Chain A
Amino acid sequence: MTRAGRLAHAWAQTALWAALAGVGVDLAGVENAALDLTEDQRFTLSAVAVETARSLENPVIARVFFTNALAAPYHEHRAAVLDLLEGLRRESGGRIEVRVSDPTAEAEAADEARTLGIDPITRRDGREIRQIWMGVAFLSGDRVESVPAVTSLPLVEYDLVRALQRVATPVDSRPTIGWLVGDGEPDPGTFPETHPLAQLGRSVGALGRLAVFNPGEGPFPDLDALIVVAPQTPLPAIRQLHLDQALMRGVPTALFLAGYQPDFRAGRTTEIHHDLQPLLARYGVAIAPLLVLDRTNNEKLPIPMGGSWVQVNHPLAVVALEMNRAARPMRAVRRVVAPFVTPVSVGDLPPGVRAEVWVSTAPSAVGTPTNRPIEPERAAAIARDEVPGPFPLVVALEGTFPSAWTGRPLPVPLEGDPVDPASFVPTSRPTRLVVFGSGDLVANEGALVEATVDWLLDDPRLQATRRQADVDTRLPAPTPGQAWRWKLGIVGFPVAVLLAGAAVVSRRRR
């Protein structure tokens, strides 16, 4: 072979190597083989997903409506959804059939997606803002469960497996979520469709069957979870007893308790007396008689000014920034807007009850035992009786609770039959209780309320998929000694490398 020929051969060989390397990388991506080194197998199909797929009794069609070739940061979502569905399909033994369409290019698919409750979402896609499709619907018989937009990669598995579980569960065997009314609590069914409370009612209802009920003086119906939102008047003792007994029967309960509310006519806040403090104290929850305000971290509130409503940043619309990420419902929450909020903390815990704070204010928050003017500047004025923050705002408890009526005479209803002492339950089954210090929060933080109800319903199989969330654990605050050693190590180690180098070089030179 001539020199030129050998040169051409060498170049051709190099080009072939490059081409083969490219093909190799491409082929490596086909099987999506990966070794998950995380402690909790965070990026492997979870046990609950496998179990859900394997336990399917009827065929399920997974209709994927995804825009092809999305730009960053959504470029991995379609592949993540399809990978997960492929894993579920394999585990289901073929009971899941996956059908993929791109409604961006197919008008018929777009119509079908809308029929199944999936609408396009408006997002920046590369350099343009356009409508894209990122939804999945599961169909089984005449039942449909949709995930309208898969926008969070860490929650892909949770969202899809939850929808799959729902479509596979008959409607009449879904959990009943009670929404108590009768003491001034809002009824989500009475608000216009676009009102946040109506939307919340729908989203909470999607977790099970939402039952709005007013039991009068009678016992509560059989429930799987109970929500009490902002009672405005004192709960009579008989109602408190039934609330207590519902908890004793193991009904997990969420209380969103407003301690203060705005009185726009008077231009001040006014207190709300629900009289639940002594009851909650028995379970280990302490509600401080303080109104929290934060002059630094706050959100807008609609305020009447000059005959119209104006959105202004208001110190009483506190933005809480300290989240307990170890608590599952808080994992996806970055901040919580809590208007007219009261501190809720862990009090004297009865034996067998564990508690944790989910949300706290920033240290810039202060509490005041007196009502404040609504006008923002006057509300922000410094008062003498202020108590410095930070304050816990949400407390969650788990365990076996003692009844608040143990060793006390049972209240007698004004009308109807007295409570049968034989039916009194003195100690609860293992259950959960979560208390929020704001009622107005419910309208702003629908996702948090939904996650809380999800936590209350405590399907441990479903909750397990939350572990797929790509969230690292928190470090405990370092001691001054640890922080000092950390800094010393960072500065000192390069010096050690230099000294080692000097020693090696000088030895070699000798």
Chain B
Amino acid sequence: MPPVATVARRELLILFGQPVAWLALAGFVSLIGLLTLWKDDVLAGGVASMRGPFWWIASCLLLLAPAIAMRSIAEERRSGSLHLLATLPLTAVEIVVGKWAAAVVTLAVGLACTVPLAVALFALGPVDPGPVVGGYVGLLGLASALAAVGVAASAATESQVLAFLMALGVSAGPVVVGAALPLVAPEWVSTVAVLTFQFHVEHLARGVVDLRSMAFFLAVSLVGLRVAVLQIEHRRLAR
């Protein structure tokens, strides 16, 4: 088994062997369900679209991703097992990518838990499958980016709580910027809009898989992972 897969498998076994991950997933699905039922009822709206639920799923991912990723490296560091990992024939990149892959898989499981919403909508009326597929592709991209930010935050501290707050703060940044877009100076608005999660999720939920959106999520993921690797290398070199 490749080293990255070994790290990811170990991480997944730890995550799903604890009640916390299951509680987080159940909380994630409950929150989306409640928001979809009471805040933005698809049935009452009468529109054959998953756009409303997609917004709630994206918003809830902002909470779930840091919660899933916060322990990935911070806990290893706190318990001292990161030193143990360092003695194994594993590079910092392999450790970080393995942790990130595990977080992405966990978030994908969370997204899969929302699929029954889409299935129910298909059962109710004529739903265009393209935007639903596009929406899930976009959410997977968002999950990947958020997981990378979460792993980077987790690599920066020993405290899981601090890692969660740091990841939440960084992840919320592009969302806040998106919300404040009307206040951005006109000459910057096109550039800034591309840096917001809303821009990309909205495009993908329309059923258009835009190269720019995929590049954005990939870029955030790569930078997040690189920062996490830097943190580990920095500590290793600082010792």
Contact = CB atoms under 8 A, between A and B. Distances in A.
A69 B188 CA distance: 7
Contact of A497 (B26, B34, B51, B124): B26
A155 B125 CA distance: 25
A11 interface: yes
A28 interface: yes
A166 to B, nearest CB: 29
B181 interface: yes
B141 to A, nearest CB: 12
Interface stretch (A37-45, A175-183, A253-261): A37-45
B117 to A, nearest CB: 7
A477 B190 CA distance: 40
Contacts of B125: 473-476
Interface in A1-44: 3, 6-7, 10-11, 13-14, 17-18, 21-22, 24-25, 27-29, 31-40, 42-43
A100 interface: no
Contacts of B185: 71, 126
Contacts of B188: 69
Contacts of A501: 16, 19, 21-23, 25-26
Interface stretch (B65-73, B76-84, B202-210): B202-210
Nearest to B128: A39
B206 to A, nearest CB: 7
Interface stretch (B96-104, B166-174, B221-229): B221-229
A71 B182 contact: yes
A239 B15 CA distance: 82
Contacts of B190: 69, 75, 79
A72 interface: yes
Interface stretch (B2-10, B157-165, B230-238): B230-238
Contact of B222 (A21, A76, A485): A21
Given A475-B47, A493-B113, A37 B223 contact: no
Contacts of B215: 24-25, 27-28
B43 A486 contact: yes
B89 interface: no
Interface string A197-240: 00000000000000000000000000000000000000000000
B29 A497 contact: yes
Contacts of A482: 123-124
A187 to B, nearest CB: 42
A497 B117 contact: no
B208 A43 contact: yes
Contacts of A470: 206
A155 B148 CA distance: 38
A141 interface: no
Nearest to B133: A37
Given A70-B189, A493-B113, A500-B22, A43 B216 contact: no
15 contacts: A3-B238, A7-B234, A21-B220, A75-B186, A473-B125, A473-B128, A474-B47, A475-B125, A478-B124, A486-B43, A486-B124, A497-B22, A497-B29, A504-B16, A505-B18
Interface of A: 3, 6-7, 10-11, 13-14, 17-18, 21-22, 24-25, 27-29, 31-40, 42-43, 68-73, 75-76, 79, 125-127, 470, 472-478, 482-483, 485-487, 489-491, 493-495, 497-498, 500-502, 504-505, 508
Interface of B: 16-19, 21-23, 25-27, 29-30, 33-34, 36-37, 42-43, 46-49, 51, 113, 116-117, 120-121, 123-131, 133-134, 181-190, 193-194, 203, 206-212, 214-216, 218-220, 222-223, 226-227, 230, 233-234, 237-238
